[in-house]
Amino acid sequence: VTAKLGCKNAIFPLLEASNISSDNLEEFSEPIKEYADYAAKQNVSILLETLLSSEDLFYFLESLNHPNVQCVFDTGNRVQQSKSLSNEIKLLGQYIKHVHIKDKDSSGENVILGTGLVNFYEVFKALYEINYSGPFVFETTRGNDPVSTVNFHMNICKFFYDEARNK
């Protein structure tokens, strides 16, 4: 179905009820490889979105050793797991094919970009350093005025995107 819709990527959100963890990694290996083999024939990539530590995710992707399996980097989810998104991005670099832009506060709530824990300059600088050229998708709060909020989010990302490239 993904290929028939013209999609190039299928995101597998291995979260919540389908959570992948360091304890159950092996259970996911064969099913993901099977999906990846099928998807490759359709020219569709499988992108894993997980809450694994960057080290565990890197290990898992390496152990899969499948050119058609990469990952989603979600700034809001990752900031809950790590003090350095830059280090995570650099470790996962070759595998990052899709980025979710989101900010969270210390209680894990989605917040307006720039008001939470994510250092967007650090994120865009690291993405620049790994030559990331894939899509960015906002998974942000709407605020009181969704149009005004999206304009703010676009501007803050453009600012940090430009700053990261000019230093």
pLDDT of residue 1: 62
Give residue for tokens 């995101």: 11
The whole-number pLDDT of residue 127 equals: 98
Tokens describing residue 116 = 């939470």
pLDDT of residue 6: 86
CB neighbour list of residue 101: distance below 8 Å, 6 or more residues apart: 75, 113, 136, 137, 138, 139, 140, 153, 157
* Per-residue pLDDT at 166: 87
Nearest to 119 by CA among 166, 167, 160: 160
Task: Answer for the pair 69, 48: CB distance below 8 angstroms, yes or no.
Answer: yes
Flag whether the pTM goes above 0.85. yes
Residue ranges in the chain assigned as alpha helix (H): 25-41, 54-64, 75-79, 85-92, 120-129, 146-165
pLDDT in tens, the chain (167 residues): 666 788 899 999 999 888 999 899 999 999 999 999 999 999 999 999 999 999 999 999 999 999 999 999 999 999 988 889 999 999 999 999 999 999 999 999 999 999 999 999 999 999 999 999 999 999 999 999 999 999 999 999 999 999 999 87
